[in-house]
Structure 1
Amino acid sequence: MDEKGFLIGIVGRSKRIFSRRMWEKKEVRASLQDGNRAWITLLACICADGSALPPSLIYEAANKAIQSAWVDEIRAGEHEVFITSSPSGWTNNDIGLAWLEQVFDRCTKEKARRSYRLLILDGHGSHITMDFIDYCDKHRILLAILPPHSTHTLQPLDVAMFKPLSTAYSAELSKHLQMGQGLASITKGDFFPLFWNAWKASFKESTILSSFRATGISPPDPDPILDRFTRSQESRESSLSSLSDHDWRKIDRLIRSAVKDQSSRDTQKLCQSLHHLSVQNELLHHDINGLRQALATKQKRKKKGKALDLQQRNEYHGGSVFWSPRKVREARVRQSIKEREDKEQQLQKAETAELKKAAKLYKEKIQQEKRVAREVAKEAKEKERAEKATQRAV
């Protein structure tokens, strides 16, 4: 098990190819990135059989409340992930113990049955507390603490897993920013979809098995470690990738097969014009898709995030709790029920107010009719008295 932090809006270093003309434009050298430095910590754990435990994410929250907008994209049954929060976004003693009990023990107990489990850790303080060690001792978990400053050589996650994960996340983030053309900033709610794609792309069984072989842990073999200190020069793999517009090549082949005189100016002009139109069309499609994505992101963020009502049934050691997608779904259901009840209550209040208003208007109308009737009766009496007075005078 090991931790890895993410600055959710920072793109990792990458290599790109420029023409001399583009390189001289210094403003295009920097990669497009959002710059959001919000911190989210990953607790990852892999097994020697090639499997990986569900990732555990620690969000930064001053009051430990997990906002609904952060986990909108998490779906129970589709995503295997645990979430929690801390004031700093880093792990601590409570979170370390909660991870051991609620994630590691829960996810490996059935696989191990009555056998002992070996948990390899670095020397972080949250891993070597008395509560942590006591829990391991009571639940048949053996601890192996790596020596200081050796995880880059002995820890499978550091050696072979975290770098591909960082690269994949940077690629997902760059793709997201380019599609949105930088119009929508990165928030904590955008992190999980990008992270999950990177996780699925990098934490594969073959990569996990190779990480244990590279560190000599499984199968036990000291040579991979010893060779690192005796090898004079490390071998590096190189890969070549090519980018091409397949539609343009099809058009070009069609023209060359249909036109006999391919060297004429008209033919060359036609090829260049079609190539230009194809490129412009591709760029326009890219811009449209990016604008649509940015608009969808903007509309999604109009919804104000609310703290989820995450209810804990079991009491665990320590003060931290990791929440599964099922718990998040249950909290969403409670939240939707509450929102529906609040909406119905508001409608009921509005209807009551309308009824009161209508009753008031009706009452005022009745009172007005009574006043008019009294005025008419009063005028009739005065007229009658005047007529009687006239008759007496005659």
Structure 2
Amino acid sequence: MRSRSTVVIGGGIIGLSVAWELTRRGHGVTVLEKETDWAAHQTGHNSNVVHAGLYYKPGSFKARMSVAGNQSIVEFAKDNGVPVEVCGKLVVATSEAELPALGVLAERAEANGVPAKLIGADEAREYEPEVACVRALRVESTGIIDFPAVCRALVRLLEEAGADLRLGTPARGIRAGALGGVEVATGSEVLRADSLVNCAGLQSDRVARLAGLTPRARIVPFRGEYYELRPDRRHLVRGLIYPVPDPSLPFLGVHLTRMLDGSVHAGPNAVLALRREGYRWSDISVGDLAEVARFGGAWRLARKYAYPIGLDEVRRSFSKRRFAASLAKLVPAVGPDDIVRHGSGVRAQALLPDGSMVDDFLIESAPNQVHVLNAPSPAATSALEIAKYVATEVEAS
């Protein structure tokens, strides 16, 4: 019997994980990546945190897949020689006003099966001597990993299994095949397959429209900028220190993360990117901005968050002093002279026409097609679990 063939668009951790899961199930897989390297965008520009799953609504995709993914991605790393460390983290309430929200997080951790416990300030300082808090949530299963190295391992496995991996190959046209299945034009040829999976991240809604769908959500890019502690100040942070997040936002707030190499990253903030793949303020696309401006959901979001939240994020983007002040709420010893710019990432945030941000993973199916339309954090943690779900959808489509 002929094996089923599938074209996967997108060479980040989601696309490669889907390709590997389909390959394990006997599919003939072709992966198309428009860049000249794997994990070129979200996967290669994130914080490399293996999330535990405590933040997410019980029963949601994010809750179920991040809790399961916390185990499966660590196991994959250990089995394939990828650096990983399960070090745990602290979520800290720096004032009495944050205690109710911290309590809600503790309840969610319990509901989601995440190993976590509320501790007092003295016990928190046993983990992080420089931290400032009135109470904290200790989360044991959070870890640090090298997600680009996970992708390299997946590429190696796919190559060994005979998958067709194509860098520098964008999908330029998608249509239903004359005899069934799908046809994908790359510019140099037309690929024919039984099914298509769209894991294009920042371009996922555009790929869906290219395939003839009208996705419910539109991607609006948010850039997150990072600093890192100077080498002589790295001792201020032993592991991971997070603030209590604003429950109305999908972002976790500026935090401190000790990486596998001993460096300590600080961030990210969240500002509108001026290009889909815009990692600096100077990265500007008139076309991308015009697309955002024509989308009513973006204006509704702006009316809700532009002031004061959005304005504060922009100010922090341009002011090291403001950025350091945010960190000092967690670790008072951190000052402006202790941090240097490190880089940034861009989050593909799906936005609905009413201006609300899609809070959960969004995966839509059509005949012979599956489209991953919203997979921000904790998608990298959940990649192998998302892949199982998507592969099952492919086989049912």
TM value normalised by structure 2: 0.20
TM value normalised by structure 1: 0.20
Greater helix percent: which structure? 1
Mark the structure with the bigger radius of gyration. 1
